[in-house]
Amino acid sequence: MVLSPTVLADGLDFPTSLAFDDKGGVYLAESGLPFGGAAPGGRIWRLGPQADTASRTLVADALAAPVTGLLWHQGYLYASEGGAGRITRIGPDGQRTVIVDGMPGPGNYHIDMAVAGPDGKLYFAQGAMSNLGIIGLDAYELGWLGRLPHSYDIPGLDVVLTGVNVTTEDPLAGRPGARTTTGAFVPFGTETTPGQRVPAGLPCSSAVMRCDLDGGNLELVAWGLRNAFGLRFLPDGRLLAVDQGADDRGSRPIGNAPDLLFEVREGAWYGWPDFVGGVPVTDPVFKPERGPQPTFILADHDQLPPPEAPVLNFEAHVAATKFAVAPPRSPLAGQLVVTLFGDEAPMTLPPGGPQLGRDLLLVDPADWSTRGLPSGPQLHRPIDVGFAPGETALLILDFGEFEMTGHGVEAKAGTGRLWRWEGWDRPTTG
């Protein structure tokens, strides 16, 4: 039997993140992105036990947009403020303490969600500054990026460059027809040379890092994850990351690059910017429509760890975001419930195809098989899911109405929702 979904919170402005305290309280974070006339600045709301919408209260506001993650741990909330490259700890009295700061940015992506590890450390991801290693005009032309120059990528391991450069128009020159040339891991308008060495940095981009709960002892865990937006430990202690694939755009476009699910291992390289799921970007399967086939920008693959293979390839452009592990009492016990935010055509791939994503996917960590959830609430852009402690109901956070067009973002404020879903049909094999 399928039970009717229930809306627990409505009228939200582009929410991104869920968290749960030890007493059954539900927290959600609005991104703070001012699309569609929404008020700028991220906000955190608390619902009462069993997500009672009548007791919704504001916990924090004026957070640096976009807020990309929210964690409850040992009596504190940890908010990832992508717009400022930091993680802020919020106490029961509302006092804020910045514990992680100075992450790379602004860029294509940001500091992502944090999770508490079994070792007592705080683990978090930092996304790439560019699509695939070279800053291009996509950073200037697209409304959701909308600025040049922006930060360039910083490798987590020492690398040697092949000297690939791309020449584009230069919108910063102030004169028609001006052009400039840009290489990898350097600012826009800077050329590179064959054999040029770029030292590892810390913090770096495209990485998973960790630190003490007070922000001390920052360390690199793994490098080469383009944008590990979803991060979570399994009950057996394995760390999984949902890594969002590169797009057919910019100075180094790539076609058909899937989102990936990785098991994160310390010291590993996950292939960005020259491999996708262990497959080189030079493979014909990745031929783009908006430019030439990518060539390698790193010349020292033999000096790097071998690129890791994923445990799962998602369909390209479904934009897998976050996931939750169903608790033992749930009919979905042990399964991963993954949110698929959906494509952003025509920005990330040529227009004309069917809509992708905008749904949920089940993943079995025993063999990494996938199954669909065939019924449930009507979702615009699912972005996070979770199970409150002691509960079996699935909570689904919907970002709201949001689409890309040839002119930028078209979004409607107040269309985000938090759903409670307590029933489902038997999952179908995917």
- pLDDT per residue over 74-88, tens digit each? 999 999 999 999 999
Q: What is the pLDDT of residues 330-363, one digit of tens each?
A: 989 999 999 999 887 776 766 777 777 889 999 9
Phi-psi region of 357 (alpha: psi -120 to 50; beta: other; left: phi over 0): left
324 assigned to some structural domain: yes
pLDDT at 17: 98
Domain assignment present for 221: yes
Query: Tokens in use for 50?
Result: 């069993």
Give residue for tokens 């990745």. 286
Q: How confident is the model at residue 106 (pLDDT cuts 50, 70, 90)?
A: confident
The reply to whether 1 falls in a domain is: no
Please report, as a single letter, which amino acid is at residue 181.
T
SS3 221: strand
374 pLDDT band, cuts 50/70/90, is low
Here the CATH number for the domain that contains residue 40 is 2.120.10.30
pLDDT at residue 1, rounded to an integer: 36
Q: What is the mean pLDDT of residues 104-130?
A: 96
Question: Which residue's structure tokens are 């709960």?
Answer: 213
49 φψ region: left (φ > 0), alpha (ψ -120 to 50), beta (else): beta
How many degrees, rounded to 5, is the angle at CA 391 between CA 387 and CA 397? 30
Structural domain boundaries, residue 419: 6-429
Averaged pLDDT score across all residues of the chain: 91
User: How far, in Å, CA of 391 to CA of 145, rounded?
Assistant: 39
Q: Is the pLDDT of residue 174 over 90?
A: no
Say if residue 414 is exposed, middle or buried (CB neighbours under 10 Å; 0-12, 13-18, 19+).
middle
Read off the pLDDT of each residue in 351-376 and give the average, rounded to a whole number: 85
**249 belongs to a structural domain:** yes
Predicted pLDDT at 148: 60
**92 lies in a domain?**
yes
Residue 293 lies in a domain: yes
The domain tally of the chain equals 1
Cα–Cα distance, 368 to 5 (Å, whole number): 27
Q: Is the pLDDT of residue 144 over 50?
A: no
Is 310 part of any domain? yes
CB 27 within 8 A of CB 386: no
Q: Confirm whether 235 is domain-assigned.
A: yes
pLDDT digits (tens, 9 = 90+) for 9-63: 999 999 999 999 998 899 999 999 999 999 999 999 999 765 555 578 999 999 9
* SS3 of the chain: helix, strand, coil, percent, to 5: 5, 35, 55
pLDDT one-digit tens code per residue, 3-21: 468 899 999 999 999 999 9
* Separation CA 385–CA 420 (nearest Å): 10
Q: In what order do the strands lie in the sheet with 239-243?
A: 228-233, 239-243, 260-263, 312-313
Mean pLDDT, residues 209-236: 98
